[in-house]
Amino acid sequence: MNRRVLITGASSGIGAATARLLASRGYSVALLARREDRLQRLAEELRKAGAPDPMVLACDLARPATLEPCIERLQRDWGALDLLVNNAGVGYRARVEELEDAKLEHLFRVNVLGSMHACRLTLPLLRKGDAPGVVLVASVVGRRGIPGQSAYSASKAALVSFGEALRIEWARDNIAVSILEPALTATGFFEAQENPAGLAAPDLSRASGPEEVAQAVWMLDRHPRPELSMRWKWRVLGMLSILAPRLSDRMLARRLGERWIAPQR
C-alpha cells in the first residue's frame, strides 16, 4: 500500500510502533518529534527493513514556527499527504494546584494547539491526498476526567471536541477524521511525566502494548470511524458521567483509591 503518512510523536511509544507497522505495510512515513537522534535511529531501522526512504522532521510542536519548515519539506518531497497521525502528547501526573502556569501552558501548547497547528498546516496537503484521513490520538480520559490528571484529561477532552467538529468541517474535503482513545498503554509516557507530588504510578501490568494502539491506527486508516475507544468500560463510564455523574465520580474514586465524600452544605 503506497500511502504517505505523517506521524507526530514518532520518536517513542505509540508513534514509533505506528511508524514500524505502517512502514511494514508499505506506507511512506514522515517521522516528527523533538528528539532527532531517536528519529534518525528509527528511520535507519525502517530503511534496513525495506521501508521506502523515511523522512525525519525535527520539530517542537510547542513552537509552531518549527512546524512550518517540516510542512514545506512534505510539500516539496511528497506534494500531498494521505494520512496524518496526530499522536504527540505530554502528560502530568499532578493535581492542578501543583502545576505552575508554565507547565499548564506547555501541556495545552503540545496536546491541543500542537494538534490544531498540525491539522491546519497539513490541510492543503491532505486535500491533494488519496482517500485522505486524520487519526487524532486522544485518550479515554478525554471522555471522563480522572483525579490526579485533571489538566491532562482536560487537554484530551479538548482534542476530542476538536475532532468531533473537524469530522464535519472536513467531510466536504473528503477527509475522514477518526478519534482514537487509547487506555493505559505501556510506553515511556509515565517516566517522562512530571510528578511533583510523587503520586503513585499506574500499574502497567494490565496495560495495552503500543503495538495494539498502532494496529488500531492502521485499522482506522483502512476503515475510518468517528471514534474508537480501546476499552469499552471507559466508554460506559463516559456515558454514566452524563446520566449519573455522582455515581460515576464515586465508582471512579473507588477504583483509583481516592477518598471521596460528597461536599456537605
Catalytic residue positions, numbered: 152
Which of 79/209 has CB closer to ligand NAP?
Answer: 209
Residue 72: alpha-carbon gap to chain centroid: 23
Minimum gap (Å) between residue 13 Cβ and ligand NAP: 2
CB of 110 to ligand NAP, least distance (A): 4
User: Given the complex with ligand NAP, which of 124 and 188 has the nearer CB atom?
Assistant: 188
Round to whole Å and give the CA distance between 1 and 87.
22
Read off the amino acid at residue 172: R
27 to 4, 6, 12, 136: CA distances (angstroms)? 6, 10, 18, 18
Q: Please state the closest distance from residue 246 (CB atom) to ligand NAP, in A.
A: 26
Classify residue 110 by its DSSP letter.
Answer: I
Cell of 211: 503495538
CA separation for the pair 129, 131 (Å, rounded): 6
- Which residues of this protein are in contact with ligand NAP, per CB under 6 A? 9-15, 33-35, 38, 59-62, 87-91, 110, 137, 139, 182, 184-185, 187-189, 192, 210
Give the nearest distance from C-beta 263 to ligand NAP in angstroms. 30
Burial of 240 (0-12, 13-18, 19+ CB in 10 A): middle
Three-class SS state of 184: coil
